[in-house]
Structure 1
Amino acid sequence: MDLSEFPSEVRITAVALQNILRSLGQEGTLKISNLEIEYEETSTRRPSHTDRVHGRLPYFIAELRRECTDLTPLPSPPDESWEEQIEIICGGINLVNNNTRNEEQLQLYYQLGSLLSLRGFNAASRSFAKTILLAHKRKDFFPTAKRTYFLYSAQGSWHINGTVHISCYALRHMSESDFQDVLLPEAEEAKTREILSLPFDIFDF
Protein backbone atom coordinates (compact mmCIF):
# COMPACT_ATOMS: atom_id res chain seq x y z
CA MET A 1 0.00 0.00 0.00
CA ASP A 2 1.40 3.37 -1.02
CA LEU A 3 1.88 6.05 1.65
CA SER A 4 -0.36 8.40 -0.32
CA GLU A 5 -3.30 6.11 0.40
CA PHE A 6 -3.04 6.65 4.16
CA PRO A 7 -4.92 9.43 5.98
CA SER A 8 -3.16 12.80 5.99
CA GLU A 9 -2.28 12.61 9.71
CA VAL A 10 -0.39 9.34 9.08
CA ARG A 11 1.49 10.85 6.13
CA ILE A 12 2.42 13.95 8.14
CA THR A 13 3.64 11.83 11.05
CA ALA A 14 5.66 9.58 8.73
CA VAL A 15 7.39 12.56 7.11
CA ALA A 16 8.08 14.06 10.53
CA LEU A 17 9.67 10.80 11.70
CA GLN A 18 11.75 10.66 8.52
CA ASN A 19 13.02 14.19 9.11
CA ILE A 20 13.92 13.34 12.71
CA LEU A 21 15.93 10.31 11.54
CA ARG A 22 17.76 12.47 9.00
CA SER A 23 18.54 15.14 11.59
CA LEU A 24 20.01 12.43 13.85
CA GLY A 25 22.12 11.08 11.00
CA GLN A 26 20.36 7.72 11.09
CA GLU A 27 20.29 5.80 7.81
CA GLY A 28 18.30 2.78 8.92
CA THR A 29 14.68 1.79 8.32
CA LEU A 30 11.84 2.46 10.76
CA LYS A 31 9.05 -0.12 10.51
CA ILE A 32 5.70 0.58 12.20
CA SER A 33 2.84 -1.88 12.46
CA ASN A 34 -0.29 -2.02 14.61
CA LEU A 35 1.64 -4.28 17.00
CA GLU A 36 5.19 -2.94 17.18
CA ILE A 37 7.73 -0.35 16.11
CA GLU A 38 11.06 -1.64 14.82
CA TYR A 39 14.22 0.14 13.66
CA GLU A 40 16.72 -1.70 11.45
CA GLU A 41 20.27 -0.40 11.19
CA THR A 42 21.69 0.00 7.70
CA SER A 43 25.31 -0.98 7.41
CA THR A 44 27.44 2.04 6.54
CA ARG A 45 30.75 0.22 6.69
CA ARG A 46 32.94 1.36 3.86
CA PRO A 47 34.49 -1.39 1.77
CA SER A 48 38.00 -2.23 2.93
CA HIS A 49 41.00 -2.50 0.63
CA THR A 50 40.61 -6.27 0.81
CA ASP A 51 36.91 -6.03 -0.15
CA ARG A 52 37.71 -3.88 -3.17
CA VAL A 53 40.49 -6.21 -4.30
CA HIS A 54 38.21 -9.24 -3.89
CA GLY A 55 35.67 -7.64 -6.20
CA ARG A 56 38.30 -7.43 -8.94
CA LEU A 57 39.24 -11.12 -8.89
CA PRO A 58 37.56 -11.83 -12.27
CA TYR A 59 39.84 -9.23 -13.88
CA PHE A 60 42.92 -10.78 -12.28
CA ILE A 61 41.95 -14.26 -13.44
CA ALA A 62 41.32 -13.03 -16.98
CA GLU A 63 44.72 -11.37 -16.99
CA LEU A 64 46.44 -14.56 -15.87
CA ARG A 65 44.74 -16.39 -18.74
CA ARG A 66 45.83 -13.99 -21.47
CA GLU A 67 48.19 -15.36 -24.07
CA CYS A 68 51.79 -14.21 -24.00
CA THR A 69 53.91 -14.38 -27.13
CA ASP A 70 57.19 -13.22 -25.60
CA LEU A 71 58.40 -15.94 -23.22
CA THR A 72 61.63 -14.18 -22.29
CA PRO A 73 62.11 -14.20 -18.50
CA LEU A 74 62.78 -10.94 -16.70
CA PRO A 75 66.44 -9.96 -16.60
CA SER A 76 68.26 -10.96 -13.44
CA PRO A 77 69.56 -8.26 -11.09
CA PRO A 78 73.10 -7.02 -11.82
CA ASP A 79 75.84 -9.57 -11.20
CA GLU A 80 76.89 -8.20 -7.85
CA SER A 81 76.90 -9.58 -4.32
CA TRP A 82 73.53 -10.38 -2.74
CA GLU A 83 73.73 -7.28 -0.56
CA GLU A 84 74.58 -5.03 -3.50
CA GLN A 85 71.71 -6.46 -5.54
CA ILE A 86 69.31 -5.78 -2.66
CA GLU A 87 70.60 -2.21 -2.49
CA ILE A 88 70.03 -1.70 -6.22
CA ILE A 89 66.50 -3.14 -6.23
CA CYS A 90 65.43 -1.38 -3.02
CA GLY A 91 66.86 1.84 -4.45
CA GLY A 92 64.56 1.36 -7.43
CA ILE A 93 61.58 0.74 -5.14
CA ASN A 94 62.37 3.97 -3.29
CA LEU A 95 61.90 5.83 -6.58
CA VAL A 96 58.48 4.29 -7.30
CA ASN A 97 55.67 6.86 -7.39
CA ASN A 98 52.20 7.24 -8.87
CA ASN A 99 53.68 7.79 -12.32
CA THR A 100 55.65 4.53 -12.30
CA ARG A 101 54.17 2.00 -14.69
CA ASN A 102 52.43 -0.95 -13.08
CA GLU A 103 54.65 -3.56 -14.71
CA GLU A 104 57.80 -1.71 -13.59
CA GLN A 105 56.62 -1.86 -9.98
CA LEU A 106 55.83 -5.56 -10.28
CA GLN A 107 59.25 -6.23 -11.80
CA LEU A 108 61.02 -4.54 -8.89
CA TYR A 109 59.04 -6.41 -6.25
CA TYR A 110 59.43 -9.68 -8.14
CA GLN A 111 63.21 -9.22 -8.22
CA LEU A 112 63.24 -8.31 -4.53
CA GLY A 113 61.19 -11.41 -3.74
CA SER A 114 63.58 -13.51 -5.82
CA LEU A 115 66.57 -12.21 -3.85
CA LEU A 116 64.84 -12.68 -0.49
CA SER A 117 63.95 -16.25 -1.47
CA LEU A 118 67.68 -17.02 -1.77
CA ARG A 119 67.85 -16.44 1.99
CA GLY A 120 64.63 -18.31 2.68
CA PHE A 121 62.74 -15.07 3.36
CA ASN A 122 64.39 -15.06 6.77
CA ALA A 123 64.25 -12.20 9.25
CA ALA A 124 67.83 -11.13 8.61
CA SER A 125 67.23 -10.64 4.87
CA ARG A 126 64.06 -8.65 5.57
CA SER A 127 65.86 -6.48 8.10
CA PHE A 128 68.65 -5.75 5.65
CA ALA A 129 66.16 -4.65 2.97
CA LYS A 130 64.39 -2.42 5.51
CA THR A 131 67.61 -0.55 6.21
CA ILE A 132 67.68 0.58 2.57
CA LEU A 133 64.00 1.24 1.96
CA LEU A 134 62.53 4.63 2.78
CA ALA A 135 60.25 4.72 5.82
CA HIS A 136 56.99 4.83 3.83
CA LYS A 137 58.11 1.88 1.71
CA ARG A 138 58.83 -0.46 4.61
CA LYS A 139 55.37 -1.27 5.92
CA ASP A 140 54.14 -3.77 3.33
CA PHE A 141 57.22 -4.43 1.22
CA PHE A 142 57.68 -8.00 2.45
CA PRO A 143 54.25 -9.50 1.65
CA THR A 144 54.21 -7.58 -1.63
CA ALA A 145 57.60 -8.93 -2.71
CA LYS A 146 56.82 -12.45 -1.54
CA ARG A 147 53.45 -12.67 -3.27
CA THR A 148 54.73 -11.10 -6.48
CA TYR A 149 57.57 -13.59 -6.57
CA PHE A 150 55.37 -16.62 -5.84
CA LEU A 151 52.70 -15.60 -8.36
CA TYR A 152 55.02 -14.95 -11.28
CA SER A 153 57.33 -17.81 -10.45
CA ALA A 154 54.27 -20.03 -10.78
CA GLN A 155 53.16 -18.51 -14.07
CA GLY A 156 56.40 -17.24 -15.60
CA SER A 157 58.01 -13.87 -14.95
CA TRP A 158 57.49 -12.82 -18.58
CA HIS A 159 53.78 -12.41 -17.83
CA ILE A 160 54.55 -9.30 -15.81
CA ASN A 161 55.07 -7.43 -19.07
CA GLY A 162 51.82 -5.77 -20.10
CA THR A 163 50.08 -6.44 -16.80
CA VAL A 164 47.33 -3.91 -16.10
CA HIS A 165 44.92 -5.24 -13.46
CA ILE A 166 47.19 -7.22 -11.14
CA SER A 167 49.19 -4.65 -9.21
CA CYS A 168 51.37 -4.34 -6.14
CA TYR A 169 48.40 -2.72 -4.40
CA ALA A 170 46.18 -5.70 -5.24
CA LEU A 171 48.75 -8.27 -4.11
CA ARG A 172 49.44 -6.31 -0.94
CA HIS A 173 45.80 -6.09 0.16
CA MET A 174 44.45 -9.38 -1.19
CA SER A 175 43.17 -11.83 1.41
CA GLU A 176 45.26 -14.93 2.03
CA SER A 177 42.45 -17.19 0.80
CA ASP A 178 42.02 -15.23 -2.44
CA PHE A 179 45.74 -15.45 -3.10
CA GLN A 180 46.38 -19.05 -2.05
CA ASP A 181 43.10 -20.64 -3.15
CA VAL A 182 42.24 -18.62 -6.27
CA LEU A 183 45.06 -16.60 -7.81
CA LEU A 184 48.03 -18.92 -7.26
CA PRO A 185 46.29 -22.08 -8.57
CA GLU A 186 45.05 -20.09 -11.57
CA ALA A 187 48.63 -18.98 -12.32
CA GLU A 188 49.85 -22.58 -12.12
CA GLU A 189 47.07 -23.80 -14.43
CA ALA A 190 47.80 -21.00 -16.88
CA LYS A 191 51.46 -22.01 -16.95
CA THR A 192 50.48 -25.64 -17.66
CA ARG A 193 48.16 -24.61 -20.50
CA GLU A 194 50.88 -22.42 -21.93
CA ILE A 195 53.43 -25.24 -21.92
CA LEU A 196 50.99 -27.69 -23.50
CA SER A 197 50.23 -25.23 -26.28
CA LEU A 198 53.88 -24.84 -27.29
CA PRO A 199 55.04 -26.54 -30.51
CA PHE A 200 56.42 -29.99 -29.70
CA ASP A 201 59.58 -29.44 -31.74
CA ILE A 202 60.93 -26.69 -29.48
CA PHE A 203 61.78 -29.26 -26.83
CA ASP A 204 65.26 -30.72 -27.11
CA PHE A 205 65.22 -34.32 -25.93
Structure 2
Amino acid sequence: MDLIEVLQHRYTAKAYNPDRRLPEEIVAQLMAALRFSPSSVNAQPWHFIVAGDEAGKARVAKGAAGPFAYNAPKILNASHVVLLCARTTLPPEHLQAVLDQEQADGRFAGEEAREGQRKTRAGYVALHEQAGDLGMWTQKQAYIALGFLLLAAGTLGVDATPMEGFDAEALDGAFGLTDKGLAPAVIVALGYHSDADFNAKLPKSRLADSVVFSRA
Protein backbone atom coordinates (compact mmCIF):
# COMPACT_ATOMS: atom_id res chain seq x y z
CA MET A 1 0.00 0.00 0.00
CA ASP A 2 1.51 3.35 -1.01
CA LEU A 3 1.19 6.57 0.98
CA ILE A 4 -1.83 7.91 -0.90
CA GLU A 5 -3.67 4.61 -0.36
CA VAL A 6 -2.89 4.81 3.36
CA LEU A 7 -4.18 8.37 3.55
CA GLN A 8 -7.36 7.48 1.68
CA HIS A 9 -7.95 4.34 3.76
CA ARG A 10 -7.35 5.62 7.31
CA TYR A 11 -10.26 7.19 9.14
CA THR A 12 -11.40 8.00 12.68
CA ALA A 13 -12.80 4.87 14.29
CA LYS A 14 -16.02 5.32 16.28
CA ALA A 15 -16.26 1.89 17.95
CA TYR A 16 -13.65 -0.69 18.90
CA ASN A 17 -13.53 -4.46 19.20
CA PRO A 18 -12.53 -5.07 22.85
CA ASP A 19 -11.43 -8.63 22.06
CA ARG A 20 -8.68 -7.65 19.62
CA ARG A 21 -5.33 -6.58 21.00
CA LEU A 22 -2.49 -4.87 19.21
CA PRO A 23 0.61 -7.06 18.93
CA GLU A 24 3.48 -5.78 21.02
CA GLU A 25 5.67 -5.23 17.96
CA ILE A 26 2.99 -2.95 16.52
CA VAL A 27 2.71 -1.04 19.80
CA ALA A 28 6.50 -0.58 19.79
CA GLN A 29 6.36 0.94 16.31
CA LEU A 30 3.56 3.32 17.30
CA MET A 31 5.51 4.45 20.35
CA ALA A 32 8.56 5.00 18.13
CA ALA A 33 6.45 7.26 15.90
CA LEU A 34 5.74 9.41 18.95
CA ARG A 35 9.29 9.41 20.29
CA PHE A 36 10.88 10.28 16.95
CA SER A 37 8.37 13.00 16.03
CA PRO A 38 9.97 16.36 15.19
CA SER A 39 9.60 19.43 17.39
CA SER A 40 10.71 23.03 17.14
CA VAL A 41 14.43 23.30 18.00
CA ASN A 42 14.16 19.65 19.07
CA ALA A 43 12.73 20.81 22.41
CA GLN A 44 10.61 17.62 22.72
CA PRO A 45 8.15 19.48 25.00
CA TRP A 46 5.85 16.54 25.61
CA HIS A 47 5.10 13.45 27.63
CA PHE A 48 2.98 10.48 26.56
CA ILE A 49 0.94 8.42 29.02
CA VAL A 50 0.23 4.97 27.57
CA ALA A 51 -2.58 2.73 28.82
CA GLY A 52 -2.51 -0.88 27.65
CA ASP A 53 -4.56 -2.65 30.32
CA GLU A 54 -8.03 -2.28 31.80
CA ALA A 55 -6.86 -0.34 34.85
CA GLY A 56 -4.87 2.14 32.81
CA LYS A 57 -7.67 2.71 30.33
CA ALA A 58 -10.09 3.22 33.20
CA ARG A 59 -7.85 5.99 34.57
CA VAL A 60 -7.82 7.74 31.20
CA ALA A 61 -11.59 7.24 30.90
CA LYS A 62 -12.07 9.36 34.03
CA GLY A 63 -11.61 12.27 31.65
CA ALA A 64 -14.59 11.08 29.59
CA ALA A 65 -17.35 11.96 32.02
CA GLY A 66 -20.32 14.28 31.91
CA PRO A 67 -20.65 15.90 28.48
CA PHE A 68 -17.74 13.79 27.23
CA ALA A 69 -19.19 10.40 28.24
CA TYR A 70 -19.66 9.47 24.59
CA ASN A 71 -15.89 9.01 24.34
CA ALA A 72 -15.66 6.54 27.24
CA PRO A 73 -16.49 3.39 25.19
CA LYS A 74 -13.76 4.21 22.68
CA ILE A 75 -11.22 4.53 25.47
CA LEU A 76 -12.33 1.42 27.36
CA ASN A 77 -12.77 -0.86 24.33
CA ALA A 78 -9.63 0.13 22.44
CA SER A 79 -6.54 -2.04 22.70
CA HIS A 80 -4.36 0.87 23.82
CA VAL A 81 -4.87 4.52 24.63
CA VAL A 82 -2.33 7.34 24.64
CA LEU A 83 -2.76 10.64 26.45
CA LEU A 84 -0.54 13.18 24.71
CA CYS A 85 0.53 15.93 27.10
CA ALA A 86 2.37 19.18 26.47
CA ARG A 87 4.85 20.60 28.94
CA THR A 88 3.63 23.82 30.54
CA THR A 89 7.19 24.97 31.22
CA LEU A 90 10.58 24.15 29.77
CA PRO A 91 12.86 24.51 32.80
CA PRO A 92 16.67 24.42 32.58
CA GLU A 93 16.81 20.79 33.68
CA HIS A 94 14.64 19.69 30.74
CA LEU A 95 16.68 21.71 28.25
CA GLN A 96 19.87 20.29 29.75
CA ALA A 97 18.56 16.72 29.44
CA VAL A 98 17.79 17.31 25.75
CA LEU A 99 21.25 18.80 25.18
CA ASP A 100 22.98 15.94 26.98
CA GLN A 101 21.05 13.41 24.90
CA GLU A 102 22.04 15.18 21.70
CA GLN A 103 25.64 15.05 22.88
CA ALA A 104 25.38 11.33 23.64
CA ASP A 105 23.85 10.71 20.22
CA GLY A 106 26.78 12.40 18.48
CA ARG A 107 25.05 15.47 17.11
CA PHE A 108 27.85 17.93 17.91
CA ALA A 109 31.17 18.19 16.12
CA GLY A 110 32.57 20.12 19.04
CA GLU A 111 31.85 22.43 21.95
CA GLU A 112 31.08 25.36 19.65
CA ALA A 113 28.27 23.42 17.94
CA ARG A 114 26.91 22.29 21.29
CA GLU A 115 26.90 25.82 22.66
CA GLY A 116 25.26 27.13 19.49
CA GLN A 117 22.43 24.64 19.84
CA ARG A 118 22.00 25.44 23.52
CA LYS A 119 21.74 29.18 22.83
CA THR A 120 19.35 28.74 19.89
CA ARG A 121 16.95 26.53 21.85
CA ALA A 122 17.12 28.69 24.96
CA GLY A 123 16.47 31.74 22.80
CA TYR A 124 13.28 30.30 21.34
CA VAL A 125 12.05 29.23 24.75
CA ALA A 126 12.74 32.72 26.12
CA LEU A 127 10.84 34.32 23.23
CA HIS A 128 7.74 32.28 23.99
CA GLU A 129 8.06 32.82 27.72
CA GLN A 130 8.23 36.59 27.14
CA ALA A 131 5.26 36.46 24.76
CA GLY A 132 3.28 34.48 27.32
CA ASP A 133 2.41 31.74 24.83
CA LEU A 134 4.78 28.94 25.83
CA GLY A 135 1.88 26.59 26.59
CA MET A 136 0.34 27.22 23.19
CA TRP A 137 3.72 26.61 21.53
CA THR A 138 4.25 23.29 23.30
CA GLN A 139 0.69 22.19 22.48
CA LYS A 140 1.45 22.80 18.80
CA GLN A 141 4.46 20.50 19.09
CA ALA A 142 2.28 17.82 20.71
CA TYR A 143 -0.01 17.98 17.69
CA ILE A 144 2.94 17.31 15.39
CA ALA A 145 3.45 14.10 17.37
CA LEU A 146 -0.27 13.36 16.97
CA GLY A 147 0.06 13.60 13.19
CA PHE A 148 2.99 11.18 13.20
CA LEU A 149 1.05 8.74 15.39
CA LEU A 150 -2.04 8.81 13.16
CA LEU A 151 0.00 8.30 9.99
CA ALA A 152 1.98 5.47 11.60
CA ALA A 153 -1.26 3.81 12.71
CA GLY A 154 -2.70 4.04 9.21
CA THR A 155 0.46 2.59 7.70
CA LEU A 156 0.37 -0.33 10.15
CA GLY A 157 -3.33 -1.06 9.61
CA VAL A 158 -4.27 0.15 13.09
CA ASP A 159 -7.46 2.10 13.72
CA ALA A 160 -7.14 5.33 15.69
CA THR A 161 -9.39 7.95 17.27
CA PRO A 162 -8.04 11.34 18.35
CA MET A 163 -10.23 12.94 21.02
CA GLU A 164 -10.24 16.51 22.28
CA GLY A 165 -13.50 15.93 24.13
CA PHE A 166 -12.34 15.33 27.70
CA ASP A 167 -12.44 16.88 31.15
CA ALA A 168 -8.96 18.29 31.70
CA GLU A 169 -9.47 18.67 35.46
CA ALA A 170 -10.49 15.03 35.78
CA LEU A 171 -7.38 13.91 33.90
CA ASP A 172 -5.27 16.18 36.09
CA GLY A 173 -6.77 14.52 39.14
CA ALA A 174 -6.14 11.04 37.74
CA PHE A 175 -2.51 11.61 36.76
CA GLY A 176 -1.32 14.66 38.74
CA LEU A 177 -0.46 16.47 35.52
CA THR A 178 -0.20 20.00 36.90
CA ASP A 179 2.32 18.93 39.54
CA LYS A 180 4.40 17.37 36.77
CA GLY A 181 4.30 20.51 34.63
CA LEU A 182 2.03 18.91 32.03
CA ALA A 183 -1.25 19.80 30.33
CA PRO A 184 -3.41 17.27 28.43
CA ALA A 185 -3.54 17.92 24.69
CA VAL A 186 -5.38 15.00 23.10
CA ILE A 187 -6.36 11.39 23.83
CA VAL A 188 -5.82 8.79 21.10
CA ALA A 189 -7.49 5.38 21.14
CA LEU A 190 -5.71 2.64 19.16
CA GLY A 191 -6.87 -0.80 18.15
CA TYR A 192 -9.22 -2.47 15.68
CA HIS A 193 -12.73 -1.26 14.95
CA SER A 194 -15.81 -3.32 15.66
CA ASP A 195 -18.67 -4.17 13.32
CA ALA A 196 -20.67 -1.44 15.08
CA ASP A 197 -18.35 1.24 13.72
CA PHE A 198 -20.56 3.12 11.26
CA ASN A 199 -17.70 5.32 10.13
CA ALA A 200 -15.80 2.34 8.73
CA LYS A 201 -18.46 1.97 6.04
CA LEU A 202 -18.60 5.60 4.96
CA PRO A 203 -16.55 7.09 2.10
CA LYS A 204 -13.88 9.62 2.98
CA SER A 205 -14.85 13.22 2.23
CA ARG A 206 -12.41 16.08 1.73
CA LEU A 207 -12.57 19.40 -0.09
CA ALA A 208 -11.23 19.38 -3.64
CA ASP A 209 -7.60 20.12 -4.49
CA SER A 210 -8.66 23.38 -6.14
CA VAL A 211 -10.14 24.58 -2.84
CA VAL A 212 -7.33 23.68 -0.45
CA PHE A 213 -4.32 24.46 -2.68
CA SER A 214 -3.14 27.61 -4.40
CA ARG A 215 0.13 28.49 -6.09
CA ALA A 216 2.53 31.00 -4.61
Higher relative contact order (CA 8 A, sep 6+): 2
TM over 0.5: no
If you compute each CA radius of gyration, which structure gives the higher value, 1 or 2? 1
Task: Tell me the TM-score normalised to structure 1 length.
Answer: 0.24
Greater strand share, structure number: 2
Greater helix share, structure number: 1
Task: Tell me the TM-score normalised to structure 2 length.
Answer: 0.23
